[in-house]
Amino acid sequence: MIPIAKPLIGEEEIEEVEKVLKSGFIAQGPKVAEFEEEFASYVGTEHAIAVSSGTTALHLALLSAGVGKGDEVITTPFSFAATSNCALYVDAKPVFVDIDLKTFNLNPELIEGAITEKTKAIIPVHLYGQPAQMDRIKQIAKEHDLRVIEDAAQAHGAMIKDKMVGSMGDMACFSFYPTKNMTTSEGGMITTNNSHMADMARILRAHGEKERYKHEILGYNFRMTDISASIGLVQLKKLDGFNQKRIENAEYLKEHIKGLTGIKPPYVSPKVKHVFHQYTVRVKEGKRNALMEYLNQEGIGTGIHYPIPIYKQKLYQDRGYDDNWPETEKAALEVLSLPVHPGLTIEELEKIAISLEAASENLFE
């Protein structure tokens, strides 16, 4: 089976982990500090705060931005649930607006209609590795005095013109889960140019301590280990190469898909660098499951990101959500992710292309 995702761990990562294990300093320590410095430099921000996951990054970012009980947070319903769950963690209310079906990202033209006196922040997601429309989102946020927290969990190294994703909002959050464009095995990172928010995130991730055994506020144990950071330091050096291979694989797939019936390749916005965390096509309505089954039988892994809008999850239905955003609903029925990861061989790419062509002829003609 050609996997839908595959972490690429080499001898360099193994050697660095071994060094950390032999050092005896395996919790948060010098490697975490080094990783934070290198990651901030890469993204182009003053601060980077390493944490235990992308989810805890989102949680701490909202707390550090002052979002709390009774506040509202505008975000997309077409994402992994962690994007909106982080608002629930801080007793705020996620407010969903629809996506742009071309990019699968939050439609900024719908944001102002969702703003109320309770709105405190906007969380755009750079879904599948394609940057959201940050210029427009930031303009709206400035006009209404709102915080912008980028969910960049799938967009390490993505860019808008010459600006790196993770450097455009008040804060940004990355995930280093094994399937991401780079990994630390598990882990996350917050980036920001706001020193106060950075300090708050650092305190919150370590039991509310500013100094050892002096607990100033209620905090958490959301720290990254030096083991994870040692992997991250090596992966960060490889990230641009990984992303370039993803882009090349995506271009190969596009060239072989663009003329096929029933399968629509992903749209790439102008002036952005899309880093293809996922290569997600749209399949003719009612045919996705048949295509998925056909490809799986051919030994090609697939994924649906995401089959159920967040507002239709039981967690949100039980909270009274009755949203029905048409573009989100359509995307949930049509999207199918194909392998695009940098571990693919040319033979595997050819197999995917040939199988898609055969599926198009058999299923859609």
Residue 308's nearest CA partner among 84, 62, 2, 107 is 84
Q: Are 338 and 281 in contact (CB under 8 A)?
A: yes
**Tokens matching residue 27:** 């919790």
Pairing between strand 147-151 and 171-175? parallel
Active site residue 180: yes
| 8 Å CB contact between 5 and 246 | no
Check if the beta carbon of residue 13 is closer than 8 Å to that of residue 227: no
What burial class does residue 221 get, using C-beta atoms within 10 Å of its C-beta: 0-12 exposed, 13-18 middle, 19+ buried? exposed
Whether the CA torsion 170, 57, 49, 14 is positive or negative: it is negative
Among 180, 273, 287, 351, the one annotated catalytic: 180
As a whole number of angstroms, the distance between CA 295 and CA 275 comes to 24
Question: Could you tell me which of 173, 147, 151 has the C-alpha nearest to residue 72?
Answer: 147
- What's the rounded Cα separation, in Å, for the pair 182 and 13? 12
- Which amino acids are annotated catalytic? 180
